Amino acid sequence: MSRSTQNRPAHGFSLVEVLVALIIIAVGLLGIAKMQALLLADTGVSRLRTLVALEASSLAASMHANTAYWAVAPTTLPGNLTVTINPSAATTVTSSGDNNLASGISAALGNPKLCELGSGTVPCTAADMAGYQLVQWELAMANVLNTATTDIVCAPVNNGIAEISACTITVSWTENTVNANREEDNNTAFQNQSYQLVVDP
C-alpha cells in the first residue's frame, strides 16, 4: 500500500509585508515623538506663563508697598505716567510723565545706588523708592524672561469718592513653541503673548 504525500505551501511573511509593517511602525513612532515634543513645549510654556504672572504680581505688591508714590503721584501729573522696562535693551528702565521718577531710576542705576543700605543714600523719597523698586524688579525679570517688555501705564481714576491712581501692567514676550499644525506655523499670534494686570495702589 502506497501513500501519496501532498506538498503543503510554506507559511510566513513576504519581504513586502515586512516593509509595509516597518513603515506603519515608523509613522506611529514619529507621531509619538511629535506628541512628546508638544507635551514638553506646553510644559515649558505653562511654566514661563506662571513665572510671568508671579513677577507681575510681585511688581504690583511693590506698588502697594509704596502708596506714597503710586497712589498719589500719577493723579497730580498733567498726563499719564508711562514706564517701559526692557531687560534686553541698553536703557534698562525708561519713564515718561514724571521727572522725579526718572531721576529715581537713574539714581537706582548709578553707583552708589540710591535707596540701598550700605551703598546709597537712605532714606529716600517716594519717587526714588519707586525707581529703585522698578530697577530691582527688572533685574529679577531678566532672570525669568530676558526678552519680555513691560509697560506700566498709570492714570487718574475717579472712584466716586476721590481721584485715585489706576495702573495697568502689561508684559509682552515671544514664546518658543512647537507648532501642532500649519495654521500655527503661519500665525504669529501663537508666539506673541502678553499678560496684563490692573493695579489699584
Let me know if residue 10 belongs to a domain.
no
pLDDT at 150: 93
pLDDT at 156: 84
pTM (2 d.p.)? 0.75
Let me know if residue 9 belongs to a domain.
no
φ/ψ of 29, rounded to 5, equals -65, -35
Let me know if residue 2 belongs to a domain.
no
pLDDT at 111: 77
| Max CA distance (Å), the chain | 122
Spatial neighbors of 191 by CB under 8 A, at least 6 apart, are 174, 175, 176, 177
As for how many domains the chain has, the answer is 1
Let me know if residue 28 belongs to a domain.
yes
**Structural domain harbouring 53:** 15-199
- The CA distances from residue 101 to 113, 140, 198, in Å, are 15, 20, 20
Please give the Cα distance from 145 to 48 (Å, whole number).
8
Contact 158, 87 (CB under 8 A): no
Positions of the chain with pLDDT lower than 50, given as ranges: none
Please give the Cα distance from 67 to 78 (Å, whole number).
19
Let me know if residue 156 belongs to a domain.
yes
pLDDT at 23: 92
